[in-house]
Structure 1
Amino acid sequence: MADIIQLLPDHVANQIAAGEVVQRPASVVKELLENAIDAGATTIKLVIKDAGKTLVQVIDNGKGMSVTDARLSFERHATSKIKTADDLFQLNTKGFRGEALASIAAIAHVELKTKQEHEDVGTCIEIEGSKVNKQEVVVTPKGTSISVKNLFYNIPARRNFLKSNTVETRHIIDEFHRVALAHSNISFVMFHNGSETFNLPESNYRQRIVNIFGTKTNEKLVPVDEDTEVLKISGFVGKPEFAKKTRGEQFFFVNNRFIKSAYLNHAIGSAFEGLLKDGAHASYFLNLTVNPQTIDINIHPTKTEIKFDDEHTLYAILRSAVKHSLGQFNIAPVLDFDRDANLDTPYSYQQKGTPSVEVDRSFNPFKEEKQSIGTASTSYKKAPASNWESLYVGLESKGTQTQQDFSEVHFESSSKNESIFENENQVEQKQTTYQFHNKYIVSTIKSGMLLIDQHRAHQRVLYEDFLKNMTVKEAMSQQLLFPLQLHFSPSEIEIINQLKTDLEHTGFIFQTIKGELLEIAGVPVSVPESEVSIILEQLISDVENEVPDSNFSATDLLAKSLSKSLAIKAGQSLTLIEQEHLVNSLFACKEPNVSPTNRTTFVTMTVDELDKKFI
C-alpha cells in the first residue's frame, strides 16, 4: 500500500495556523499592537478602514528591525523572545510564539517598513499570501509601520463569517482598550475611516481609564492596593451605585497582559455581595503582578486565558483586598453607628461631672391614700369626686334634641354606595383571568385554558408597537420639564449617533449630543424618565454584541432592545384590568405565539389533557 502521510506545504500550514491566531480583524490589531509594545515604542498609532477588512495599519517609534530580522519575522516559529523551552516560564513580553506575522501574511496583503535608529535607510517588504513580492531599501522614520490589507482575500469562506462593520469595529475597540489600559505609559492614537476615535496621551493609570471611558468615570473609581509575597494588586473598582447591567468595564491584567478568568471574577462578585442590584455587574480595572514562574500563558491560542499555580490563594487575597477598599472608603456598610457631634459633652464641662438630682425616695402615692386627709405630712391628695352628678345635668334634653335633628337628615350617598358594591360584585363574577405567582396569566378558552408568560407577552406587544412607530414615524413623545443629561464614553456616543434617527422615530427627542454629553428633551410616552439611562445602556450593549450580520435591520434590533427593557418583569403584580388588557393586546398582534426573541409566549391546555392528569 502506498504511503498516505505527507508534509503540508508552508503556505497551507500557515493558513491552518492563521485559523488559530487570526479569527477577525481585531486579532490582527491585537498582535500588531503587542509587537509594537515589545519593540519599546512610546507612541503607537492605529489606523483602520472598513472595520479592519480593508486596512489595519500600526505605526510605532520602537527600535525597528534590521534587514535580516525584517525578512525572518515572517517565517514560522521565528521569534526573538525565547531560545529554550525554559524561557516559556520566564516571559515578560507579549508575543513569543513566532506565528503572528507568518499567519497574517498567509491570508492578507502585508507591507512592512522598518528602520533602526542608527541606520540611514530602512527596509520595505511586500508579501501576498506568504509569497514575498518585493524587498527593497526605503526612506522611513525610526520604528516600524506595518499595513495589513484585504484580510482573508484568498479565503473567501472565512471572510463570509465576519460580522457587520459595527460589530467588528466594536471588537477592534475592545482590543485597543485592553492594550491601552495595560500600558498607560505609552501614547496611543486610533483612526477609523479617516476620523480620530481615540487620542490617549501618556498618563497615570487613573487618567488613562478616564480618557477612555469618559470624565464622569473619575468619580466612580475606588482605589485598590495590596502587596503580598504571592501577589501584588493595584488598580480600581467601581462604586456599587454606578454598576451597569453589562460587563463592558471588567478588566484583569496579569503582568500587563489582559486575561479572562471566571474564577477571579467570582472573587470580585463575592467582595461586592449585598452591594449590587439584581442583574448589575461590578466594574473593575485591576493589575495583578505575580511571579512568571507561577503561571502558564501558553494554554490558549489568543493568550487571553492563563493557568495559575495557586488559584485559591489568589482568590482569597483578591477578595479581601477589594472588600477592604470598599470598607476603607466608606463604600460598604460597617457595623457602627453614626456619631452626632452635637451630642458630645462640651470640652469645658468634661471635668465637671454629671449634675446630681435630689429625689424623695420615701414617696409612695398608693401608701398616702390610706392616710387621713387632714394629716400635715400628706404631699399627695386625691381630687374629690363629689360633683360627678353635675356632668350629666341637661343631658336628657340634649339627647332629645339631637334625636330630632338626626331624624330630619337624609343620606344622599347611600344609594350610590350600594351601586358601587354591586358593580364590584359583578366584576368579580365576570373575572376571566388570574395572575399566577406574579409571573403567568391564566385565561380560559372554549377548549380549556391558556397560560401566558407576562414578560414575553408584553415584549411582543411593545415590539410590534415600536416597529409600527418607526415605520410610520408618528410616535408620541412627552416633553421633559428639564432636559435629562446623561454621560457616555466616546464610543457609546458614536453608537447613539448611528441610531439617532430611529430613536427619534420611537419618541426620543435629542437636544444636544456633544463630546461625552447627551441631553434628552423628550422621551416616548411609555418610557419613564428614570429608566432612560438603563434603556440606552442596554441598547448600546445589544448593538455591540448582538448584531449577527451586515444584513440585519437596525430598526428591528432597536425595537427588540427597547421592548426587552420596557416590558413588565416577572414578579410584578397586575390588576385585573391590566391582565385583560395584556391578553387582548397580545392576541391583537401579528405573531402572538412567540416573543421578539422567538420564545414561546403562551401554552394551551385542553380539558381532555387536564382530565388525563386525574386518571
Structure 2
Amino acid sequence: MAASIIQLLPDHVANQIAAGEVVQRPASVVKELLENAVDAKSSDIKLIVKEAGKTLVQVIDNGLGMNTTDARLCFERHATSKIRKAEDLFDLHTKGFRGEALASIAAIAHVELKTKQDQEELGTHIVIEGSKLVTQDVAVLPKGTSFAVKNLFFNIPARRNFLKSETVEFRHVMDEFQRVAMAHPSISFTLIHNGSELYNLPSSNYRQRIVNIFGGKTNEKLVPVSEETELITISGFVGKPEFAKKSRGEQFFFVNDRYIKSAYLHHAIMSAYDGLLKEGNQPSYFLYLQVPPHTIDINIHPTKTEIKFDDEHSLYAILRSAVKHSLGQFNVAPVLDFERDANLDTPYEYKNREADFPTIQVDSNFNPFATEKSSSKPLSSFGSYKKETTTASWESLYVGLKQDTQEIESFSFESEEVTSKLFDDDVIETKTTSTYQIHKKYIVSAIKSGMLVIDQGRAHQRVLYEQFLTNITVQKASSQQLLFPLELYFSSDEMILLKELQSSLENTGFVFDAFNADSIQVSGLPIGMAESEVSIVLEELIGNLQNEIPESSFSQSDSIAKSMAKSMAVKTGTYLTEKEQENLVNSLFACKEPNVSPFQKPTFITLTVEDLDKKFAI
C-alpha cells in the first residue's frame, strides 16, 4: 500500500494560513480589535498606533472584560462568544463572530492581553508569541481589556516586505478607525499615532461625529435623509451637489452599524443625483441602513465588508427615492411646486365679457409737406412726434453726407499709417504666420519636410511638468503673492497628507501662512496659477496621491509635478493667440522629452509632404 500524501496541517501552520485571509495589513488588526471592543459594550475606546501599526497596534477599552478561562480561550481557532449554532449566522447583532481573528493575529505577531471584569478584584495578563503561550499571570488592572499587537508578521518576513510605506499603511488604519467611529457615535474614540493625538471624538450624535471626523466645514454640506419602510430604515446625510469632489473619499454605507461596500447601492445614489453633478464628480454620503438581520448574509467575504441582500432591487428603489426626495425637500434639486400663486390664476370671470377694440386716433391737421408755423401753436396729442426741422426740401437732408464719409475714411486711414510707424516696415512686409490653431485643440506648425500637428493640452502638460519638477528638485521656485490670503478647508486625513507635502508644494511656488486643524492659509501661488484654481488643484492632487502615495521622495515629487501640470495645462477649447501658440511650440521643443506628455502620450505627430502627396494620389 502506497504511503499517504495528504496530511493534517499543524495548528500553528493552519493559523498562519488563516491569518493571510483575515490579516492583510496593520489596518486589518485595527478593524478586528476595535470591533471586539465595541462588542464588549465599551463606552470609551483608545487606539494607539506606532509606525502605522507595523510596530504596535494597541486597543484599550472599558468594556465587560474577560475571566481567566475566556482570556486564554479567545486565542483558539473558532472560539467565539457570538454564535452557538449554524442558524445564528443569519441573525447576527454583533461584529466579530467567526472566532478566527485573534487566533490569526496571535499566529503572526507578539500579542499582550490585559483584561479584568468589573466584579473581579484581579485581572489576567497573557503574552503570546507566534501562537505560543509565553506567560499567563494575574495582575492588578482597571476594568476592561487592553490588546497590544507588536511586530506584525515577525515570523513571515515575505508578508512584511509586501507592506507599503508608512503613509499608505497609516491611511488604511485611519480609514478603519473612521468607519468604526462613525458607526458608533455614542462611544468616545481616541486615536494616537507615534505619540501625537490625532482624534479625540466625544460621545455625540451621527451629525456631530461626522463633523468631528471630517472638519467643521462639513456641517454646511450635509442634507439629512430619512425613510422608514418595512424592508429598510434609512437615516444619515448626503452632500450638496456644489460640494462634490473628483475623488470618492467621503462615501459611507453602514448596514446594521457595519461598514460595507456596495457598487449597486452606490449606483442608486448616483442616479438620485442625475443632472445635478458635473461630469466626473462624486457626491459625499453617510448613510445608515437598518434591515432585519435574517435578510442579509454577512459571511460572503473574509473582511465582511461585502454583504448579500435578499431583495436588492427594492432597496435600490427605496434608497434612490429617499435621497432624491431629500435633495428636493431642501431646495438642492429642482422640484415641482404645488403651492400655486393666486396672482397667476386665469381670471375666468372675464369669459363672458366682449373684447375691447383698440381706438385709433388720427391728427387730421397733420401735413408732412406743410411748412412749420409758429412754435407757439398748441400741439395735438401727437404733437410731440412732429418734425422740428423744415422738410420742404428733402434733398437738403443728404447734403454733406459724401464729404463726411470721405473724412471718416481718410481719418481711419491716417490712424493706420501712424500706428504702423511704431513697427519696422521690413518686419511688417516679411511677416508670415508660422502656426495655426485648429478646433481650439491642435496647433499646426510648418517644417521643412512637411508640418507638425501638436496637441496643445499635452504639450502644455509636458512644459509645466518639467518646470515643476525642476523647481521641486532645485528648490528655486518663484511665487506670486496674493493681496488677501486664501483660507481653504480640508478633512483631517487630507490635512495630514498636505502637511507631508508642504515642503514639496512650497518648492513649486506655494506659500503657506498657517496649517490649522482643518484649514490652511495660502498667501502665495506658483506663477501662472489663478486664484480660483487653487482649491481645484489641491483637491485633485490629494485625490491622486491618496490612491497610492509613492514611497520615495522623488516619486512623490514626480506625482506632484504630474498632478499640477495636468490641472494647470490649457484645456481643449481654449483659444490661443498667435504669440501664445509660438511660445508653446518653442517651450515644448526646449523640453528634455518633447515627444510625450508626462502620462506617456504623444504630444505631436509629423505629416511629411510625401504623406500628403499620397492622400492626393488616390
Q: Where on the TM-score scale, by shorter chain, does this alignment land: which range?
A: 0.7 to 0.9
Gap change, CA 1:299 and 1:394, over 3 Å in 2: closer
Rounded to whole Å, the distance in 1 between the matches of 2:554 and 2:152 is: 22
Q: Does 1:384 align with 2:367?
A: yes
Larger deviation: 561-570 or 200-209?
561-570
2:563 is aligned, of 561, 564, 585, to: 561
Q: In the TM superposition, what is the alpha-carbon distance from 1:157 to its structure 2 partner? A: 1.3
Gap change, CA 1:127 and 1:263, over 3 Å in 2: same
Gap change, CA 1:163 and 1:424, over 3 Å in 2: farther
Rounded to whole Å, the distance in 2 between the matches of 1:320 and 1:179 is: 27
**TM value normalised by structure 1:** 0.88
Q: Does 1:290 align with 2:291?
A: yes
Rounded to whole Å, the distance in 2 between the matches of 1:83 and 1:94 is: 15
Q: In the TM superposition, what is the alpha-carbon distance from 1:14 to its structure 2 partner? A: 1.3
Gap change, CA 1:413 and 1:247, over 3 Å in 2: same
Q: In the TM superposition, what is the alpha-carbon distance from 1:591 to its structure 2 partner? A: 2.0
Gap change, CA 1:600 and 1:402, over 3 Å in 2: closer
Cα-to-partner distance string for 1:124-178 (whole Å, 9 max, x where unaligned): 1111111111111111111110011111111111111111111111111111111
Cα-to-partner distance string for 1:205-228 (whole Å, 9 max, x where unaligned): 000001001111111110000000
Q: In the TM superposition, what is the alpha-carbon distance from 1:443 to its structure 2 partner? A: 4.5
Report what 1:466 is aligned to: 468
Q: In the TM superposition, what is the alpha-carbon distance from 1:473 to its structure 2 partner? A: 2.6
State whether residues 434 and 445 of structure 2, in contact with CA within 8 Å, keep that contact through their aligned partners in structure 1. Answer: no
Report what 1:304 is aligned to: 305
Rounded to whole Å, the distance in 2 between the matches of 1:486 and 1:362 is: 63
Gap change, CA 1:398 and 1:441, over 3 Å in 2: closer
Gap change, CA 1:158 and 1:398, over 3 Å in 2: closer
State whether residues 433 and 580 of structure 1, in contact with CA within 8 Å, keep that contact through their aligned partners in structure 2. Answer: no
Q: In the TM superposition, what is the alpha-carbon distance from 1:288 to its structure 2 partner? A: 0.7
Rounded to whole Å, the distance in 1 between the matches of 2:427 and 2:337 is: 55
Rounded to whole Å, the distance in 2 between the matches of 1:426 and 1:227 is: 78
- SS of equivalent residue, structure 1 residue 430: coil
Amino acid at match of 1:391: T
State whether residues 163 and 550 of structure 1, in contact with CA within 8 Å, keep that contact through their aligned partners in structure 2. Answer: no
Rounded to whole Å, the distance in 1 between the matches of 2:113 and 2:400 is: 114
Rounded to whole Å, the distance in 2 between the matches of 1:362 and 1:310 is: 68
Gap change, CA 1:165 and 1:417, over 3 Å in 2: same
Report what 2:27 is aligned to: 26
Q: In the TM superposition, what is the alpha-carbon distance from 1:117 to its structure 2 partner? A: 1.1
Amino acid at match of 2:370: N
Report what 2:380 is aligned to: none
Cα-to-partner distance string for 1:20-67 (whole Å, 9 max, x where unaligned): 111111111011101111111111000001111111000001111111
Q: Does 1:586 align with 2:569?
A: no
Gap change, CA 1:145 and 1:394, over 3 Å in 2: closer
State whether residues 188 and 201 of structure 1, in contact with CA within 8 Å, keep that contact through their aligned partners in structure 2. Answer: yes
Spell out the pairing of 1:410-429 with structure 2 (5 A cutoff).
411-415=413-417
Rounded to whole Å, the distance in 1 between the matches of 2:539 and 2:287 is: 23
Report what 1:85 is aligned to: 86
Q: In the TM superposition, what is the alpha-carbon distance from 1:570 to its structure 2 partner? A: 3.6
Spell out the pairing of 1:453-532 with structure 2 (5 A cutoff).
453-532=455-534
Rounded to whole Å, the distance in 2 between the matches of 1:404 and 1:132 is: 109
Report what 2:246 is aligned to: 245
- SS of equivalent residue, structure 1 residue 391: coil
- SS of equivalent residue, structure 2 residue 399: helix
Amino acid at match of 2:130: G
State whether residues 370 and 392 of structure 2, in contact with CA within 8 Å, keep that contact through their aligned partners in structure 1. Answer: no
Amino acid at match of 2:502: K
Gap change, CA 1:572 and 1:72, over 3 Å in 2: farther
Q: In the TM superposition, what is the alpha-carbon distance from 1:479 to its structure 2 partner? A: 1.5
Rounded to whole Å, the distance in 2 between the matches of 1:56 and 1:285 is: 27
Amino acid at match of 1:260: K
Cα-to-partner distance string for 1:400-420 (whole Å, 9 max, x where unaligned): 798499679764125468999
Report what 1:368 is aligned to: none
Rounded to whole Å, the distance in 1 between the matches of 2:397 and 2:530 is: 62
Report what 2:332 is aligned to: 331
Rounded to whole Å, the distance in 1 between the matches of 2:417 and 2:38 is: 87
Q: Does 1:169 align with 2:152?
A: no
Rounded to whole Å, the distance in 2 between the matches of 1:101 and 1:529 is: 52
**TM value normalised by structure 2:** 0.87
Rounded to whole Å, the distance in 2 between the matches of 1:497 and 1:236 is: 29
Rounded to whole Å, the distance in 2 between the matches of 1:432 and 1:404 is: 41
Cα-to-partner distance string for 1:368-405 (whole Å, 9 max, x where unaligned): xxxxxxxxxxx752512342694255966993798499
Report what 1:430 is aligned to: 433
Rounded to whole Å, the distance in 2 between the matches of 1:396 and 1:449 is: 61
Rounded to whole Å, the distance in 1 between the matches of 2:306 and 2:358 is: 83
Amino acid at match of 1:312: H
- SS of equivalent residue, structure 1 residue 114: strand
State whether residues 250 and 284 of structure 2, in contact with CA within 8 Å, keep that contact through their aligned partners in structure 1. Answer: yes
Rounded to whole Å, the distance in 2 between the matches of 1:11 and 1:125 is: 18
Report what 1:258 is aligned to: 259
Cα-to-partner distance string for 1:407-463 (whole Å, 9 max, x where unaligned): 797641254689999999976x6344443x544445455555545443333222111
Rounded to whole Å, the distance in 2 between the matches of 1:326 and 1:182 is: 23
Report what 2:386 is aligned to: none
Q: In the TM superposition, what is the alpha-carbon distance from 1:602 to its structure 2 partner? A: 3.8
- SS of equivalent residue, structure 2 residue 485: strand
- SS of equivalent residue, structure 1 residue 6: coil
Gap change, CA 1:44 and 1:394, over 3 Å in 2: closer
- SS of equivalent residue, structure 2 residue 391: helix
Amino acid at match of 2:265: L
Amino acid at match of 2:328: G
Report what 1:138 is aligned to: 139
Report what 2:156 is aligned to: 155
Amino acid at match of 1:89: F
Rounded to whole Å, the distance in 2 between the matches of 1:564 and 1:230 is: 46
Gap change, CA 1:130 and 1:530, over 3 Å in 2: same
- SS of equivalent residue, structure 1 residue 412: helix
State whether residues 369 and 391 of structure 2, in contact with CA within 8 Å, keep that contact through their aligned partners in structure 1. Answer: no
Amino acid at match of 2:508: T
State whether residues 83 and 97 of structure 2, in contact with CA within 8 Å, keep that contact through their aligned partners in structure 1. Answer: yes
Report what 2:536 is aligned to: 534
- SS of equivalent residue, structure 1 residue 542: helix
Rounded to whole Å, the distance in 1 between the matches of 2:511 and 2:54 is: 35
How many residues of Structure 1 are paired with residues of Structure 2 in the alignment? Answer: 592
Report what 1:376 is aligned to: none
Spell out the pairing of 1:48-447 with structure 2 (5 A cutoff).
48-336=49-337, 363-364=359-360, 381=364, 383-387=366-370, 390-393=390-393, 399=399, 403=403, 411-415=413-417, 430-435=433-438, 437-447=439-449
Q: In the TM superposition, what is the alpha-carbon distance from 1:464 to its structure 2 partner? A: 0.9
Gap change, CA 1:552 and 1:504, over 3 Å in 2: closer
Structure 2 unmatched runs, 5+ = 373-389
Report what 1:372 is aligned to: none
Rounded to whole Å, the distance in 1 between the matches of 2:153 and 2:601 is: 36
Rounded to whole Å, the distance in 1 between the matches of 2:430 and 2:326 is: 61
